A = this chain, B = another copy of it.
Amino acid sequence: MDLTTFIGIVVGLVLIIFGIGLDSIGNFWSLQSILIVVGGTFAALIASYPARILKQLPKQFKILLKNPYNPLEFIDQLHDLAIIARKSGLLALEERANAMQDPFFREGLMLIVDSTTPQQVSDILDNTLEHIEERHSEIIEFYEKGAGYAPSFGMVGTLIGLVNMLMSMDLDEGADGLSVSMGIALITTFYGTVLANLFFIPIAKKLRVRSDEEILCRKIIIEGILAIQAGENPNFLKEKLITFLPQYEKGMGKKKKGKDEPPEE
């Protein structure tokens, strides 16, 4: 799993367990509560989405496992390809395209190898990129919806517990029994809040950051492929693509004065 997401969730859980106290941890175990909160949240999510989107979820979790997209690597590859194209023509890129891991990059290269017009290359790649963005948003929204459902089903569970307690209350068992029932009822609200704030919201946000990184790489690839097709100078191409990076400014600082910390950061 993605490192900071893993660390964050583990640290959060450890702190919560520490807050509960190890000897009281049993107070917070309730299969019934888990079924209502976790089960109810996923039931509502299943009801919200078609099978087509639900099936993509396991694959999405793998994204968290993967190393993030590295835009610098793509820029270096584009720089190399620009040199090859300059030396041996666009057709020489076919071999490299076939060896390409990334299907978007490969497709883009094949388009210029196949002598598609620049306008068509740009149209097809932009169109594809737009649909990648839409699909990402759909997945991210899934977790955001979950963040909304979880506390609601926490409250549903608490209400179930309270109503059952109040309506079948036997005063003979005394206030002790009452307080235990109320404690059990509150556990579901606890589950719902933790589920939303330590899982759904952070994962949704992390996926959004990862998606932004991927989109950035895709934009660099599109820009680079069009520049290769136009026969641009490989070094100028590289410099232009570097302006896409957040690190660019830092680079500017270093290039000129070797300052370690650019003031405008």
Determine the interface band of chain A, counting residues with CB < 8 A from chain B. 35 or more
Closest B residue by C-beta to A180: B167
Closest B residue by C-beta to A203: B47
A88 interface hit (Cβ, 8 Å):
no
A95 interface hit (Cβ, 8 Å):
no
Q: Give the number of copies in the complex.
A: 5
Contact between B15 and A39 (Cβ–Cβ < 8 Å)?
A: yes
Q: Nearest chain B CB to A144's CB is how many angstroms away?
A: 11
Give bound CA distance, A7 to B50, whole Å. 11
Q: Nearest chain B CB to A109's CB is how many angstroms away?
A: 10
Contact between B134 and A49 (Cβ–Cβ < 8 Å)?
A: no
Bits for A142-182, please: 1 = Cβ < 8 Å to B, else 0.
00010011001101110110111111110100111001101
Contact between B44 and A198 (Cβ–Cβ < 8 Å)?
A: yes
Contact between A249 and B132 (Cβ–Cβ < 8 Å)?
A: yes
Contact between B263 and A101 (Cβ–Cβ < 8 Å)?
A: yes
Contact between B36 and A19 (Cβ–Cβ < 8 Å)?
A: yes
Supposing A190-B156, A197-B156 touch, asked if A47 and B131 sit within 8 A by C-beta, the answer is no
Contact between A43 and B183 (Cβ–Cβ < 8 Å)?
A: no
Q: 9 shortest A-B CB distances, which residue pairs? A: A8-B47, A166-B183, A12-B43, A47-B202, A8-B46, A48-B205, A167-B183, A159-B190, A19-B36
